[in-house]
């Protein structure tokens, strides 16, 4: 029986109610996966050390077929399907443990970047077809979201679909819409993990 692992993040800085955790909690209640799929969700701490260790442990424990991380990007105005995780930590603000790494790798000795293995272009089309604001993003940043995406991609074996979605603040895109979008992303990868070949690059 295949397992889908979905993670959100808890409070940090000025964000007492993190919409990523709210959306993942609601997804667990509201999304209807295929009958043979098990869904595992967890809220991670906004901690470089603890979140990366925990997501790697969850991959080992559950051996998921799909790993989807979700996090808050308060400055964005649409749901962002991330394509690239950098092996770089450069924190503008401390995490919840007070750590503020600058210009150090997520995992020493590992590649500079890892690409999502989710079918993000197909998923983007599905989310947009539902009338929801969405985009492909070439940068997951250099904070804890990026670290978790990188750690998850490093932990999963070949053939596992893994990636990350950034969501805006709840007053920009309602949590209910985020839940719908996440369900569509998961429906897409479970239907066909191979992405479509269409242009998705940017000129800027």
Active-site positions read 82, 145, 166
CB-CB contact of 122 with 192 (8 Å):
yes
Beta bridge partners of 137: 82
The two structure tokens encoding residue 16 = 């007492």
Measured between alpha carbons, how far is 68 from 165 in angstroms, rounded to an integer?
7
Count of all residues that appear for the chain in the document: 204
- Among 67, 53, 111, 69, which residue's Cα sits nearest to residue 87? 111
Measured between alpha carbons, how far is 99 from 91 in angstroms, rounded to an integer?
9
Phi, psi of 53 (to 5 degrees): -65, -40
Measured between alpha carbons, how far is 20 from 93 in angstroms, rounded to an integer?
19
Measured between alpha carbons, how far is 93 from 48 in angstroms, rounded to an integer?
12
Measured between alpha carbons, how far is 197 from 35 in angstroms, rounded to an integer?
29
């Amino acid at each position: 029986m295949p397992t889908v692992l979905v993670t959100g993040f808890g409070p940090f800085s000025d964000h007492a109610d993190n919409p990523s955790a709210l959306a993942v909690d609601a997804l667990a209640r509201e999304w209807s996966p295929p009958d043979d799929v098990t869904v595992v969700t967890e809220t991670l701490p906004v901690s470089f050390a603890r979140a990366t260790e925990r997501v790697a442990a969850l991959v080992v424990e559950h051996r998921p077929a799909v790993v989807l991380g979700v996090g808050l990007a308060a400055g964005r105005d649409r749901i962002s399907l991330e394509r690239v995780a950098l092996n770089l930590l450069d924190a503008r603000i401390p995490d919840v443990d007070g750590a503020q790494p600058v210009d150090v790798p997520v995992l020493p000795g590992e590649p500079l970047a890892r690409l999502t293995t989710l079918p993000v272009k197909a998923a983007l089309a599905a989310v947009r077809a539902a009338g929801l604001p969405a985009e492909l993003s070439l940068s997951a940043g250099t904070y804890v979201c990026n670290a978790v995406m990188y750690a998850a991609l490093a932990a999963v074996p070949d053939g596992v679909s893994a990636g990350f979605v950034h969501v805006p603040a709840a007053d920009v895109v309602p949590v209910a819409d985020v839940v719908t979008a996440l369900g569509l992303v998961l429906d897409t990868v479970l239907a066909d993990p191979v992405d479509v070949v269409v242009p998705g690059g940017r000129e800027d």
